[in-house]
Structure 1
Amino acid sequence: MELQPPLDDRTRWSAIGQCPIEKAMGLVGSRPAMLLLREAHYGTQRFDDFVERVGIAPATAAAHLRALTEAGLLERATYQEPGDRAREGYSLTRAGSDLMPVVIGLFEWGVRYADGNDALEYSHVGCGAPVTVNVACAEGHLLSSDEVAVRVAHD
């Protein structure tokens, strides 16, 4: 990755407190938060199911679900299973759904570099091909990290 002027002089600027990565990690940067979001992407709605499927204490799940809801990534939603009364659960908001590439990217990286279980894969519902996460420019060119520059955004 290349820092372009004036960003290439790291003694003259700091991203602390304003970096989008820092802000995003403040919302989703904990293990429980990402695993709860993974479960929400998999369709989990019920509190008890989140607790069981993530393997965390109810108090921890409650705190993180509340924080993710307050951050606008999840919303409280009413659901009803056949034969049961209506209940309150959680569902992804648009902001939460927009984290899908991050969730899939972490999955791919975990399989490749963190000895993660590769018994599952993400696939395209339409054709069945495996799903991958790539970085592309607005023109559609796939990029490697050495082809990406960080520059001051222009209005």
Structure 2
Amino acid sequence: MSTTPRGLNARCSVARSLEVLGEKWALLVIREAALGVTRFADFRARLGVAPDVLAARLETLVEGGVLERRPYQDKGQRQRDEYVLTAAGAELKTILAAFVAWGDVHRPSGFGPSTVYVEAATARPVHLAFMTDDGRELAPEDVAAVPGPGRLGV
């Protein structure tokens, strides 16, 4: 895995997250894992990624706590590993949904959304939003980013 961010980046939540998630294929691997893909050959087939690149991304995601390596063995075959989302990996569903929403608006394909997020129990569409503690939804322009306690000089 990449080295830990140094200096100001060590305090930056985005920089630290990108150490695990910032490589080209990382979010696509996570997308496939969220859709139930667990095996190396299946990731390769669905993504069309070179095996060495896929192996490196899987290793980074395992080391970063996003995926868990679990052994399996098909009858008559050697033991292999499959890759399953951890709880931290499952929490990335909101990140994937944000990418989908942004891409559908700002990089449309002309075919409509490739993924629609719905409430599992009702199949009713859901959307991402900034919410206040009392349940009010805010528009992005009504949300400010302010320094947190981890930032230098705060």
Residue equivalent to 1:151: 146
1:70 aligns with 2:31: no
Counterparts of 1:6-155 in structure 2 under 5 Å?
15-79=8-72, 87-116=80-109, 117=111, 118-153=113-148
Identity %: 31
Q: Which range moved further: 106-115 or 37-46?
A: 106-115
**Structure 1 residues 119 and 106 mapped into 2: Cα distance closer, same or farther (>3 Å)?**
closer
Report the count of equivalent residues: 140
Greater length-normalized contact order (CA 8 Å, ≥ 6 residues apart)? 1
Deviations 1:78-134 (A, max 9, x none): 4567x6766420000111111110011111111111124425422222111112111
**Structure 1 residues 144 and 40 mapped into 2: Cα distance closer, same or farther (>3 Å)?**
same
2:100 and 2:115 in contact (8 A); partners too: no
Offset of residue 74 of structure 1: 0.3
TM-score, normalization: structure 1?
Answer: 0.79
Gaps of 5+ in 1: 1-13
Offset of residue 31 of structure 1: 2.4
TM-score, normalization: structure 2?
Answer: 0.79
Work out the CA distance in 2 between the residues paired with 1:102 and 1:79: 29
Work out the CA distance in 2 between the residues paired with 1:23 and 1:61: 21
Work out the CA distance in 1 between the residues paired with 2:130 and 2:105: 17
Q: Secondary structure at the match of 1:40?
A: helix
Q: Secondary structure at the match of 2:10?
A: coil
Work out the CA distance in 2 between the residues paired with 1:29 and 1:129: 31
Q: Which range moved further: 94-103 or 119-128?
A: 119-128
Work out the CA distance in 2 between the residues paired with 1:72 and 1:119: 27
Work out the CA distance in 1 between the residues paired with 2:129 and 2:76: 42
Work out the CA distance in 2 between the residues paired with 1:119 and 1:87: 31
Instruction: Name segments (4+ residues, structure 1) moved above 4 Å.
Output: 83-87
